Amino acid sequence: METGRVALGDLTPAQRARLVTRAAEVLRAGGLIVLPTETVYGVAGTAGAGLERLRSMFPAIAPTGHTWHAPDPALVRRVVPLRSPLHRRLLARLAPGPVRFLVPCTPTELAALRQALAAPSGVFEGGGEFAARVPDHEFTRSVLGEVDACLFMERLAAIAGPGGGPPTGAIGGIDLVVDDGPPRLGRPSTSVRLLGTGGWQVVEEGALAARAIEARLVRTILLVCTGNTCRSPMASAIGRALVADAGPGAVPTRFVSAGVAAEEGAPASEAAASALRAMSIPFERHRARALTRDEVARADAIWTMTPAHVQAVVGMDPAARERTATLDPSGAPIPDPIGSPEPVYRRAAEQIRDLLVRRLADLDRADPPDAGDDR
């Protein structure tokens, strides 16, 4: 196996595993390595001697501006200050992937980062912005996990080879070049700033467009009852009202409803509409929809009115089991008000509102689910 330049495509699985170990050894010793990612090739070095060599190679980048590369999103969640549910969802939906996260940090937060990553003094000093990325390339993530040290990478796009591949000539100061052919995306990662207000902004658009990021962030909640004329359409309307005035750190959320035995096109109960009007909640013109497997597959979370509805959803799509639960966390059913006087509908609507507030808060505290991820 050549030590200066190695083509991954020529290696057996066992040789790849040995190359991961060798690359980690070179990096731990302060060496620099050109590694492939899904975007462009980068030169990698660990904090300490490797970072000093990176700074010499990329003098235009501020001392605190080099990008930390993590082996998985879980490590980023543990050490980077994420200030809102939206920040957590950004990380869950975009990493691993072609996104570089820019996180404004106080000096205290940077010091905590240095300690958490066991980085030497001189790294993450002062205040400013911390850059982090989780590349979507299996070999490179294996190296990042093996090296077990704070590692930085900078892109070599300016001297890339044909088709965006690795540099073809010798690069001064590089100890090893790992060649995996042209990168899958061939464009630099998109830089996304996580704002102190809890929101986000695209600073530099690259391989992932801003509109694609926006589409991935939308969280879909599916509410399920029997006929989709009372409880689930009320729940959907209440959910939309609850998130209508959410702040910049809130996750954009879409509510849809369906029934396990719905008559397609049936109108909503007038009593349900009256109950919502009494709560000053808008109720759009509604027609019943039957539950479908596609709707189940697209939902991030599925909340049903009874345990029997849970079984109906899981029977339709067993893969949805982890995302499906009764709206009441205790598992108690929400009684069907169909045919009852309007006060019964009002009590049902108020119960649904209180349970939705609780469920949404729990969802925001948890790591976002990966349903519907189309990376």
Q: List CB contacts of 108: < 8 A, sequence separation 6 or more.
A: none
Q: Name the catalytic one among 22, 28, 336, 347.
A: 336
Cα torsion 131, 132, 136, 142 to 10°: value is 130
Report d(CA 282, CA 217) in Å as an integer.
25
Return the amino acid letter for 216: R
Burial of 120 (0-12, 13-18, 19+ CB in 10 A): middle
Q: Among this protein's residues, is 133 annotated catalytic?
A: no
Is 258:292 a contact under the CB 8 Å cutoff?
A: yes
Q: Among this protein's residues, is 105 annotated catalytic?
A: no
Give strand ranges (E) for 253-300. 253-259
Q: Name the catalytic one among 155, 193, 219, 231.
A: 231
Is 144:71 a contact under the CB 8 Å cutoff?
A: yes
Report d(CA 235, CA 237) in Å as an integer.
6
Q: What is the DSSP letter of 47?
A: T
Q: Name the catalytic one among 105, 150, 225, 230.
A: 225
β-sheet bridge partners, residue 192: 101, 202
Q: How, if at all, do strands 200-204 and 176-179 pair?
A: unpaired
Q: Among this protein's residues, is 230 annotated catalytic?
A: no
Indicate which residues carry an active-site annotation. 225, 231, 336
